[in-house]
């Protein structure tokens, strides 16, 4: 198996780039994310800083697997390469081989190993007394690491501690050359002096067979241009994130303790929303929407904003959907039908006399502009309730139970219910004539029929295939098509007045398949007083 890791290529590019490049230290997921957010092209996973955030010493007190576990969080949180400060490789050549394999598996771009003995001590603690590794033993460790990497771009940086340990410039140069020869991709030359002199002397004497990396923690006041001119490739700012967070936490904790109040700190610290943003909370909300709701949980969106002008005084104090049909409001009957089919997340889009909507267990969305707007505008008022499985329906419908059941069993992305029996005398509202690519042959259940268009008028020599009932089912891909269609229509003229048939026509014109589920009668939309009389046929209670 070959592990191709784009991050290791990025790190190699940084090392080999003719520009002076920079890494900043990070020690956990959130600090890694902040380093990336600031604009850095790479991260130094500092041994000192990771030890410090565990509050243990930088002496291999944290186990290497604890370090690797932390690296996984850092790598998952970022897209930029991470160079691990791998201390001495956590053991001999064999530990180094396993380390490299594990780092590759976690998406880490490279490791830096230093020529000291395990357990190591931080270079700034009694550096002069620290023993260096045998040069041959360390070259073997580098070769073992290079031989075990599977990604050709994974980088091994060899860190020379001869200047730290006081062994002098010649030893430092000798070791650097040997490590390069052994296959190191770069040399990190470290110094504990507060001036850059010995680093610059090293860079001046270096033959350039490998890129040079430096850590100016002590000689930080040297302008970076000096390093640029000296031919350094990469500067590591090695511990500033842990130090700044410790200072901030010290101040905040002291302040809260002394004040017994948050008032003085609240404006000085990051707000909780920013923490959510860094954690990617939005993405989880979208995923929940997508994956939790698609697990068989269908929602209903019911359009009930209009008065129903042909019902005169009957709708003086309530919207049409709240008309009483044998002692129960029309909308309540609809809600009961949904609940019978386990569609429990029901949203009603109200407008006219919305205060008269007296229903339990439904969400209400308001179209406050119901007088001057149409169905699509109402639908858009409930956009926050769209889901990957939803039924959209007019609120003035009555139908036999099996119609909703069959619609819920249909697996098309967008399915509309079309009545192929056209009884002109019974049409009291908008006729919504429908033309499909095949007529209803009544031969089989769920025929593969697609919508061509919806119109209010018939055409002289082209009889319609049926009437749209005002019921549709939309699933995940269909939802994307529907949202896209809404966006397109919203950005055009006249959106406020558009109807659901306009939406269906837009979908078919855009090449989106709208599937037709044929029925033969057994439904009614209530538009006038006669309809209310006929409504009794659809009620058993
Ligand atoms: C680290 O960041 O852990 C380093 C750099 O190794 S230094 O602390 O300067 O040794
Ligand atoms: Mg270190």
- The SS3 assignment for 387 reads coil
pLDDT computed for residue 83 by the predictor: 98
Pocket flag, ligand 1, residue 238 (CB < 6 Å) = yes
My answer on whether omega of the bond before 384 falls inside 30° of 0, hence cis, is no
Give the number of the ligand closest to the Cα of residue 238: 1
Q: In whole angstroms, what is the distance from residue 414 CA to residue 394 CA? A: 16
- Give mean pLDDT, residues 62-66: 97
Pick the CATH number of 293-538 from 3.40.50.1950, 3.90.550.10, 3.40.190.90, 3.40.50.720: 3.90.550.10
Give the number of the ligand closest to the Cα of residue 217: 1
Whether residue 310 has pLDDT greater than 80 = no
Which residues is 87 bridged to in the sheet?
A: none
pLDDT computed for residue 2 by the predictor: 44
Question: Which residue owns the Cα nearest ligand 1 atom 10?
Answer: 123
- The SS3 assignment for 194 reads coil
pLDDT computed for residue 486 by the predictor: 95
pLDDT computed for residue 132 by the predictor: 96
Decide whether 3-239 matches 293-538 in CATH topology.
no
Whether residue 54 has pLDDT greater than 90 = yes
| pLDDT band of 107, cuts 50, 70, 90 | very high
Pocket flag, ligand 1, residue 151 (CB < 6 Å) = no
**Residue entry with tokens 């209310």:** 532
Helix pair 500-509, 476-490: axis angle to 10 deg: 100
Alpha helices in 366-475 (DSSP H): 375-380, 401-409
pLDDT computed for residue 25 by the predictor: 98
| pLDDT band of 109, cuts 50, 70, 90 | very high
Exposed, middle or buried, 79 (CB in 10 Å: 0-12/13-18/19+)? exposed
Give the number of the ligand closest to the Cα of residue 161: 1
Pocket flag, ligand 1, residue 217 (CB < 6 Å) = yes
Q: What atom in ligand 1 is closest to the CA of residue 238?
A: 2
CA of 30 to the centre of ligand 1 (A): 20
Give the E-state strand segments of 134-279 in sequence order. Answer: 155-160, 186-189, 212-214, 234-237
CA of 379 to the centre of ligand 2 (A): 59
Specify the range with the lowest mean pLDDT, choosing from 79-88, 309-318, 342-351: 309-318
Q: What atom in ligand 1 is closest to the CA of residue 44?
A: 2
CA of 87 to the centre of ligand 1 (A): 9
Whether residue 127 has pLDDT greater than 80 = no
Q: What atom in ligand 1 is closest to the CA of residue 114?
A: 6
Give the number of the ligand closest to the Cα of residue 192: 1
Angle ∠(474,476,477) on CA atoms, nearest 5: 95
What is the Cβ-side half-sphere exposure of residue 185, based on CA atoms within 13 angstroms? 26
CA of 432 to the centre of ligand 2 (A): 74
What pTM, to 2 d.p., does this model score? 0.65
Q: What atom in ligand 1 is closest to the CA of residue 112?
A: 6
| pLDDT band of 458, cuts 50, 70, 90 | confident
Pocket flag, ligand 1, residue 46 (CB < 6 Å) = yes
Pocket flag, ligand 1, residue 51 (CB < 6 Å) = no
pLDDT computed for residue 313 by the predictor: 67
Structure tokens at 33: 């994310």
Whether residue 295 has pLDDT greater than 80 = no
Question: Which residue owns the Cα nearest ligand 1 atom 5?
Answer: 238
Looking at per-residue pLDDT, the higher value among 318 and 367 belongs to: 367
- State how far the alpha carbon of 60 is from the alpha carbons of 104, 106, 121, 132, 160, in Å: 21, 20, 8, 16, 19
Q: Hey, where are the domains in the chain?
A: 3-239, 293-538
Whether residue 1 has pLDDT greater than 50 = no
DSSP class of residue 343 equals: -
Q: What atom in ligand 1 is closest to the CA of residue 87?
A: 6
Specify the range with the lowest mean pLDDT, choosing from 336-340, 441-445, 465-469, 490-494: 441-445
- State how far the alpha carbon of 534 is from the alpha carbons of 174, 431, 467, 520, in Å: 100, 18, 19, 17
What is the Cβ-side half-sphere exposure of residue 344, based on CA atoms within 13 angstroms? 4
Ranked by mean pLDDT, which of 296-310, 362-376, 418-432, 443-457 comes out on top? 362-376
Pocket flag, ligand 1, residue 121 (CB < 6 Å) = no
Pocket flag, ligand 1, residue 315 (CB < 6 Å) = no
pLDDT computed for residue 357 by the predictor: 80
- Give mean pLDDT, residues 383-407: 92
Q: In whole angstroms, what is the distance from residue 397 CA to residue 375 CA? A: 15
- Give mean pLDDT, residues 231-252: 98
pLDDT computed for residue 104 by the predictor: 97
Q: Which long-range contacts (CB under 8 A, 24 or more apart) does 209-213 make?
A: 209/177, 209/180, 210/176, 210/179, 210/180, 210/184, 210/185, 210/186, 211/15, 211/16, 211/185, 211/186, 211/187, 212/186, 212/187, 212/188, 213/15, 213/112, 213/157, 213/186, 213/187, 213/188, 213/189
Which residues, at least 6 apart from 51, have a Cβ–Cβ distance to it below 8 Å?
A: 57, 58, 59, 61, 62
| pLDDT band of 309, cuts 50, 70, 90 | low
Question: If we measure between CA atoms, which residue out of 7, 3, 153 comes closest to residue 77?
Answer: 7
pLDDT computed for residue 462 by the predictor: 87
CA of 379 to the centre of ligand 1 (A): 59
DSSP class of residue 150 equals: S
Question: Following DSSP, what letter does each residue of 72-92 receive, concatenated?
Answer: HHHHHT-SS-EEEE-TT-SSS
**Cβ atoms of residues 369 and 342 within 8 Å:** no
Q: Give the catalytic positions in this structure.
A: 58
- Give mean pLDDT, residues 21-50: 98
pLDDT, averaged across the chain: 91
* pLDDT > 70 in the chain, percent: 94
CA of 47 to the centre of ligand 2 (A): 4
Tens digits of residue pLDDT in 462-516: 899 999 999 999 998 999 999 999 999 999 889 999 999 999 999 999 999 999 9
Select from 24, 50, 84, 123 the residue to mutate for testing ligand 1; criterion: most ligand atoms less than 8 Å from CB. 123
Give Dmax over CA atoms of the chain in angstroms. 105
**Cβ atoms of residues 233 and 17 within 8 Å:** yes
Tens digits of residue pLDDT in 212-237: 999 999 999 999 999 999 999 999 99
pLDDT computed for residue 314 by the predictor: 66
Would you state the CATH architecture of domain 3-239?
Alpha-Beta Barrel (3.20)
pLDDT computed for residue 408 by the predictor: 93
Q: What atom in ligand 1 is closest to the CA of residue 25?
A: 2
Looking at per-residue pLDDT, the higher value among 333 and 535 belongs to: 333
Which residues, at least 6 apart from 129, have a Cβ–Cβ distance to it below 8 Å?
A: none
Structure tokens at 386: 């769209």
CA of 57 to the centre of ligand 1 (A): 12
């Amino acid at each position: 198996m070959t592990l191709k890791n784009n991050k290791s290529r990025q790190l190699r590019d940084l090392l080999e780039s003719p520009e002076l490049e920079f890494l900043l230290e990070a020690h956990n997921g959130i600090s890694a994310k902040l380093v990336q957010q600031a604009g850095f092209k790479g991260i130094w996973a500092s041994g000192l800083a990771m030890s410090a955030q565990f509050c243990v010493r930088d002496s291999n007190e944290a186990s290497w697997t604890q370090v690797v576990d932390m690296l996984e969080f850092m790598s998952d949180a970022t897209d930029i390469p991470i160079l691990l400060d791998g201390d001495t490789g956590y053991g001999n050549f064999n530990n180094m081989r396993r380390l490299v394999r594990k780092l590759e598996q976690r998406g880490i771009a490279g490791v830096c190993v230093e020529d000291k003995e395990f357990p190591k001590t931080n270079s700034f603690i009694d550096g002069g007394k620290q023993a260096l590794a045998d040069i041959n033993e360390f070259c073997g460790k580098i070769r073992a690491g290079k031989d075990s990497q599977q990604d050709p771009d994974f980088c091994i940086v060899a860190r020379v501690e001869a200047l730290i340990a006081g062994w002098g410039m010649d030893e430092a140069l000798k070791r650097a050359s040997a490590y390069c020869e052994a296959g190191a991709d770069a040399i990190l030359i470290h110094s504990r002096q507060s001036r850059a002199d010995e680093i610059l002397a090293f860079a001046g004497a270096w033959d350039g067979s490998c890129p040079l990396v430096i850590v100016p923690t002590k000689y930080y006041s040297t302008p970076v241009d000096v390093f640029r001119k000296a031919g350094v490739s990469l500067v590591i700012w090695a511990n500033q994130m842990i130090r700044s967070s410790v200072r901030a936490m010290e101040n905040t904790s002291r302040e809260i303790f002394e004040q017994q109040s948050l008032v003085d700190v609240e404006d000085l610290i990051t707000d909780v929303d920013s923490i959510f943003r860094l954690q990617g909370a939005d993405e989880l909300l979208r995923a929940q929407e997508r994956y939790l709701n698609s697990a068989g949980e269908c929602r209903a969106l019911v359009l009930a904003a209009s008065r129903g002008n042909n019902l005169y005084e009957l709708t003086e104090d309530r919207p049409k959907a709240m008309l009483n049909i044998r002692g129960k409001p029309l909308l309540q009957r609809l809600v009961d039908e949904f609940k019978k089919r386990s569609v429990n997340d029901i949203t009603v889009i109200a407008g006219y006399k919305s205060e008269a909507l007296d229903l339990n267990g439904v969400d209400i969305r308001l179209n406050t502009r119901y007088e001057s707007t149409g169905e699509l505008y109402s639908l858009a008022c409930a956009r926050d309730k769209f889901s990957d499985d939803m039924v959209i329906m007019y609120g003035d419908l009555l139908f036999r139970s099996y119609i909703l059941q069959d619609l819920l069993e249909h697996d098309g992305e967008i399915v509309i219910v079309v009545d192929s029996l056209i009884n002109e005398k019974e049409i009291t509202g908008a006729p919504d004539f429908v033309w499909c690519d095949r007529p209803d042959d009544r031969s089989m259940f769920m025929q593969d029929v697609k919508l061509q268009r919806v119109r209010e008028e018939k055409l002289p020599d082209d009889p319609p295939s049926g009437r749209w009932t005002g019921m549709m089912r939309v699933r995940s891909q269909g939802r994307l098509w529907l949202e896209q269609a809404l966006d397109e229509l919203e950005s055009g003229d006249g959106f406020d007045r558009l109807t659901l048939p306009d939406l269906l026509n837009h979908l078919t014109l855009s090449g989106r398949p709208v599937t037709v589920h044929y029925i033969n009668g057994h439904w009614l939309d209530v538009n006038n007083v006669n309809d209310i009389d006929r409504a009794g046929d659809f009620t058993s209670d």
